[in-house]
């Protein structure tokens, strides 16, 4: 495990611990306070290693580990007269060793009826991406702008009981994956991680983000394994066991990014998800994205119809509003002149990907203090991306070059 993923960060303050497997110690850090180290051995070590490893496997996203998985990881096949009490006592001992205030734990969090979470973040404060990003999903909450209306629609539908199920639709490069990643990260964010207008989400939910461009997700075993692993449950290979495990687990949200990519999965998988989304327990919500509308998917991917039947909300993702476009432009470390900023908004028609490309090009132009025509370069970069992603990648046609000015007589 690399150093970055060994960091176990607290919420909501800047307190964290680092795990050094070579020295078998945890080092707690706090802003303005000298670090303190604690040796962990035996069962305490096995518990910390297991929880840290599960978070690492999910890219640093905190995984709530169920009691059964923790008991198995720590005690193996040993017979215990009261396993739950033994686990509670072990957690109690670790907290009294590493927590600043064991009665108000910040590092190992209890989720009643669900399990325990080792609080980590998939980023650090200095891990922000470039100011303007395109082509790849935005992974740090600080780089996420706009989409407050769409985010509210998704949360209001899927984070309630009984949950409703949401489909996010929009063209390629509209920002669907970035929106769903932000939804995944939000419960693990603090106010300092977010831009103005966003608030941390204190909902206790297990969220499984599944990238269906990953070919391992196109087989039933890989698909079931990924969902269970991301919500902290022991992986199974049989569909019946998968349904049983999720039926008994409260507050689960499954995010399926680009759902049509896995349309070849056995129809029984989609029927199982439909059952979980409509069962009396009402514990599983589904949020899926696609470049097609629900109606188009119904015609083009009949295998998905069991899940499409329970879609109660469709959230379209398209161009930014004028306010959102200005919010992105104003995030630049160097101020854009109003005329250039308005050209960027008008030319991009507020499409997020084009906004990002044009803003990035102009920012580099300002930093390098170049005298050339930055607009011609910006439009050329848009064309390169369009060619790489296909003719329909960008939502508006982009000219190959800026028309040359007529020479003066």
pLDDT in tens, the chain (409 residues): 333 333 333 333 455 566 666 677 766 666 557 778 888 889 998 998 888 888 777 766 777 888 988 999 999 988 889 999 999 999 999 999 888 888 888 788 887 777 888 876 555 444 455 678 887 888 778 788 899 999 999 988 888 778 889 999 998 888 999 999 998 887 766 666 677 677 766 666 788 999 999 999 999 999 999 998 888 787 888 999 999 989 888 888 999 999 999 988 999 999 999 999 998 666 899 999 999 999 999 999 999 999 999 999 999 999 999 999 999 999 898 999 999 999 999 999 999 989 999 999 999 999 988 777 899 889 888 887 776 665 444 444 444 444 444 444 4
Helices H / strands E in the chain, number of each: 15, 12
- Cβ neighbours of residue 229 closer than 8 Å, sequence gap 6 or more: 54, 57, 58, 63, 235
Domains and CATH numbers, the chain: 3-118 (1.10.10.10), 141-316 (3.40.50.300), 322-389 (no CATH)
- How far is Cα of residue 267 from the mean position of the Cα atoms in its chain? 27
- Cβ neighbours of residue 165 closer than 8 Å, sequence gap 6 or more: 157, 158, 277, 285, 286, 287, 288, 307, 310, 311, 312, 313
The C-alpha angle 322, 323, 327, rounded to 5 degrees, equals 120
Please report which helix (H) or strand (E) contains residue 316, including its range. Answer: strand 311-316
d(CA 233, CA 250): 12
Q: What's the confidence (pLDDT) of residue 59?
A: 64
| Residue 199, number of CB atoms within 10 A of its CB | 9
What the block records as the tokens of 216 is: 């391992």
What the block records as the tokens of 207 is: 């969220």
Phi, psi of 118 (to 5 degrees): -90, 110
d(CA 96, CA 104): 11
d(CA 181, CA 261): 18
d(CA 152, CA 154): 5
| Helices 42-57 & 83-98 angle (0-180, nearest 10) | 90
């Amino acid at each position: 495990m690399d150093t970055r993923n060994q960091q176990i960060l607290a919420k909501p303050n800047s307190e964290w611990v680092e795990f050094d497997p070579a020295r078998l110690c945890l080092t707690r850090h706090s802003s303005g306070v000298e670090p303190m180290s604690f040796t962990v051995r035996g069962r305490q070590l096995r518990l910390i290693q297991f929880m840290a490893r599960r978070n690492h496997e999910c890219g640093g996203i905190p995984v709530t580990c169920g009691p059964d998985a923790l008991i198995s990881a720590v005690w193996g096949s040993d017979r215990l007269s009261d396993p739950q009490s033994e686990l509670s006592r072990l957690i109690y001992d670790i907290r009294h060793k590493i927590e600043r205030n064991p009665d108000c734990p910040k590092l190992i969090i209890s989720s009643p009826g669900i399990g325990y979470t080792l609080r980590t973040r998939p980023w650090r404060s200095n891990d922000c991406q470039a100011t303007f990003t395109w082509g790849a999903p935005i992974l740090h909450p600080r780089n996420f702008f706009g989409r407050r209306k769409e985010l509210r629609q998704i949360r209001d539908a899927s984070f309630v009981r009984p949950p409703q199920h949401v489909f996010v639709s929009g063209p390629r490069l509209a920002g669907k994956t970035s929106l769903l990643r932000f939804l995944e990260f939000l419960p693990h964010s603090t106010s300092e991680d977010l831009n103005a207008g966003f608030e941390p989400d204190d909902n206790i939910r297990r969220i499984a983000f599944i990238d269906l461009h990953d070919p391992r997700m196109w087989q039933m075993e890989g698909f079931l394994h990924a969902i269970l692993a991301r919500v902290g449950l022991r992986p199974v290979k049989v569909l019946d066991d998968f349904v049983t495990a999720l039926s008994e687990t409260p507050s689960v949200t499954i995010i399926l990014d680009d759902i049509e990519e896995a349309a070849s999965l056995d129809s029984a998988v989609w029927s199982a998800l439909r059952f979980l989304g409509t069962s009396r327990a009402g514990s599983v919500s589904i949020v899926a994205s696609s470049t097609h509308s629900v109606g188009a998917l119904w015609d083009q991917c009949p295998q998905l119809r069991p899940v499409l039947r329970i879609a109660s909300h469709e959230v379209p993702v398209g161009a930014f509003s004028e306010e959102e476009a200005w919010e992105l432009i104003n995030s630049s470390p160097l101020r854009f002149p109003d005329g250039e900023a308005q050209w960027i908004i008008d030319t991009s028609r507020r499409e997020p990907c084009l906004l990002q490309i044009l803003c990035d090009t102009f920012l580099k132009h300002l930093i390098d203090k170049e005298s050339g025509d930055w607009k011609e370069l910006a439009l050329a970069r848009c064309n390169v991306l369009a060619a790489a992603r296909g003719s329909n990648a960008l939502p508006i046609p982009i000219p190959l070059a800026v028309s040359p000015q007529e020479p003066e007589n």
